């Protein structure tokens, strides 16, 4: 009997549990895939093996009803099949380092894409990326490798979102924008048309980017104030 390739989620955390949940949603949706580019392998061909994590408290046992496999390097010794992975680590710089380790082991990245996400036929998606529920990637847009486009986020037409970016729930990237590698847009942040957000820059929750933001810059909106009502 042919052995199925193994699928591993890196990161035994809330995001990891979310990735597992959407993986099962992908398998359960019979219509899934009709509006997405062809893939080199079908998710039905996977065996979800469990979670990898470097945390000493998460090297063995069970998380989210699946086995804890230890670190990437120790887990690799347990497999005699091809291994595909998704890196469920929200920190962009950490995710870049961890995916380099996984790739060095010969593991292959795989994307987690919710069945309710909408992707234009001429949009392009990188490897190992996350597309949450009701997210939209519009015409001629591009989302890079290992990017996170979370629930209800929107990538406008002709926008380019770089590798290892993190677009949080409800964030809106307008048409013709360019989001550099590793940039972070917090919940409900907005980038107006044709603006550039530099590599590894961060935009705070609810902030509006009105002009280009340099590399590693931080844009912080005015926080709400607590009013004491008499």
Among 81, 77, 75, 128, CA closest to 100:
128
- For residues 115 and 29, is the Cβ–Cβ distance under 8 A? yes
- Sheet containing 160-161: which strands, arranged edge to edge? 124-125, 142-143, 160-161, 178-179, 196-197
Contact in structure between 197 and 181 (CB atoms under 8 Å): no
Q: Quick one: pLDDT at residue 121? A: 94
pLDDT for the residue 46: 77
Domains 6-110 and 116-219 share a fold: no
For residues 111-121, one letter each, b for 16 or more C-beta atoms within 10 angstroms of the residue's C-beta and e for the rest, the string is bbbbbbbebee
Per-residue confidence (pLDDT) for residue 162, from 0 to 100: 98
36-56: burial string, b at 16+ Cβ within 10 Å, e else: beeeeeebeebebbbbbbbee
- H or E stretch at 101: helix 92-104
Query: Which of left, alpha, beta for 57 (phi over 0: left; psi -120 to 50: alpha)?
Result: alpha
What is the model's pLDDT at position 229?
A: 61
Q: How far apart are CA 166 and CA 202, in angstroms?
A: 9
Q: Which residue reads 């920190």 in tokens?
A: 91
- Output the CA torsion 153→36→143→69 (10° steps): 90
Sequential pLDDT tens for the chain (230 residues):
457 789 999 999 999 999 999 999 988 875 554 444 444 445 557 789 999 999 999 999 999 999 999 999 999 999 887 899 999 999 999 999 999 999 999 999 999 999 999 999 999 999 999 999 999 999 999 999 999 999 999 999 999 999 999 999 999 999 999 999 999 999 999 999 999 999 999 999 999 999 999 999 999 987 777 776 66
| Domain 6-110, CATH | 3.40.50.20
pLDDT computed for residue 221 by the predictor: 87
Residue 166 neighbours by CB under 8 Å, 6+ apart = 90, 92, 147, 148, 150, 183, 184, 185
Q: Does domain 116-219 have CATH number 3.40.190.290?
A: no
Task: Spell out the domain ranges in the chain.
Answer: 6-110, 116-219
């Amino acid at each position: 009997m042919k052995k199925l390739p193994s699928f591993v989620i890196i990161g035994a955390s809330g995001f990891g549990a979310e990735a597992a949940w959407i993986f099962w949603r992908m398998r359960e949706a019979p219509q899934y895939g009709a509006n997405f580019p062809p893939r080199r392998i079908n998710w039905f061909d996977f065996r979800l093996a469990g979670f990898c994590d470097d945390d000493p408290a998460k090297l063995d046992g069970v998380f989210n009803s699946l086995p804890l496999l230890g670190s990437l390097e120790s887990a690799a010794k347990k497999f005699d099949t091809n291994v595909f992975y998704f890196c469920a680590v929200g920190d962009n710089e950490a995710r870049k380092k961890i995916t380099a380790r996984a790739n060095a082991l010969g593991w292959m990245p795989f994307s987690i894409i919710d069945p309710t996400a909408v992707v234009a036929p001429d949009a392009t998606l990188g490897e190992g990326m996350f597309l949450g529920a009701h997210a939209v990637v519009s015409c001629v847009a591009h989302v890079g490798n290992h990017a996170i486009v979370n629930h209800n986020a929107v990538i406008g037409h002709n926008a380019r979102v770089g590798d290892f970016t993190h677009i949080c729930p409800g964030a809106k990237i307008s048409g013709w924008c360019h989001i550099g590698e590793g940039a972070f847009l917090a919940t409900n942040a907005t980038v107006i048309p044709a603006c550039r957000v530099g590599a590894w820059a961060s935009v705070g929750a609810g902030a509006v980017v009105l002009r280009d933001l340099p590399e590693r810059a931080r844009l912080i909106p005015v926080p709400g104030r607590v009013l004491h009502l008499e």
